[in-house]
Amino acid sequence: MYLDARHFGAEMWARRFPTILAACRAHGIDPVTEPIPVAPAAHYASGGVRTDLRGRTTVPGLYACGEVACTGVHGANRLASNSLLEGLVFAERIAEDITARAESAGRERPAERTRPSAPAASGDAPLLASEARYEIQHIMTHGAGVLRSAESLARAADRLERVQDEAVAQLRRDGKTAEPGVETWEATNLHLVSRVLVAAALRREETRGCHWREDRPERDDAAWRRHLLVTLRPDGTLDVRSTDSEAFPPTTTPEPRRSPAREQQHFRRPPATRVPAAAADRRPR
């Protein structure tokens, strides 16, 4: 796939797009005289760790902010540039919340804690080697990328399972997991996030927002205008459930202390849609 921008001409390329021109030339491509090879890429992951409007997750004391979080402000897609803005807004809200909680507990700031030790990797869930990241990226790009189908997602799920099986087999063979560190934990967590994403994408049998199912090209509000919640069970398997309505599922924490009027002003939701009885039968689990 190519992007042909030769019609801009040398002068326009140099004046309007000097950075892209330099990057292309650094990679041996001259966009002034030849088409640029391109590939579709995802530049945001919709969904994430569920939080309330103060960044609180369902785990007491744990906050999530930025691309890892699902705050409910984006829906199934994200408007351009809203992710950096979200990081800014929610970082401030989280800082406010932490300070307020510390003050209400009679302290100025949370007590110093010793650094928690890294969670142990178990026999069935070993740490993946950092190189596994490239295989996971390959699996996800081809099976769960911009375009996906039930078939490609099932293949991705199968291959992700094999990555896990190989790591378990290696642990049994060599008696040790990959060396604990940021890169190995990143690869291990990427693997889990990929499994969650593929499981949810397989369940959602429609096309919505930035998710395009080639085998289900239509948006289906009656059956699917709702959220998918994925929980990791203690045995490592995933529980995928759908909410009963489009309302963003609450975390277990109390409602925000901000005035309702102020929240609504910033986070107005569309009015609830009624699901016809016939469609209710087709509701996913």
Ligand X SMILES: Cc1cc2nc3c(=O)[nH]c(=O)nc-3n(C[C@H](O)[C@H](O)[C@H](O)COP(=O)(O)OP(=O)(O)OC[C@H]3O[C@@H](n4cnc5c(N)ncnc54)[C@H](O)[C@@H]3O)c2cc1C
Which residues make up the interface to ligand X (CB under 6 A)?
Answer: 43-44, 66-68, 81, 83-84, 87, 182, 185-186, 189
Rounded to 5 degrees, φ, ψ at 132 are -60, -25
The residue among 102 and 192 lying less far from ligand X, judged by its C-beta, is: 192
Smallest gap from residue 21 Cβ to ligand X (A): 18
Can you tell me the distance from the alpha carbon of 248 to that of 268, in angstroms, rounded to the nearest whole number?
12
Reduced 3-state DSSP string for 109-162: CCCCCCCCCCCCCCCCCCCCCCCHHHHHHHHHHHHCCCEECHHHHHHHHHHHHH
Hey, how many other C-beta atoms are within 10 angstroms of the C-beta on 244? 12
> Measured from the CB atom, is 126 or 202 closer to ligand X?
126
Instruction: Point out the residue whose Cβ comes nearest to ligand X.
Output: 66
Report in angstroms how near the CB of residue 40 gets to ligand X at its nearest: 12
C-beta of residue 73 within 8 angstroms of C-beta of residue 85: no
Provide CB contacts within 8 A for 283, sequence distance 6+. Answer: 223, 242, 244, 275
Q: Shortest distance, CB of residue 164 to ligand X, whole angstroms?
A: 18
In whole angstroms, how close is the CB of 49 to ligand X at the nearest point?
11
Compare residues 55 and 143 and give the one whose CB is closer to ligand X.
55
Cβ proximity to ligand X, 17 vs 185, nearer residue: 185
Minimum CB separation of residue 237 from ligand X in Å reads 22
Q: For ligand X, which is the closer residue by CB, 84 or 272? A: 84
Q: From CA 136, how far away is CA 103, in angstroms rounded?
A: 44
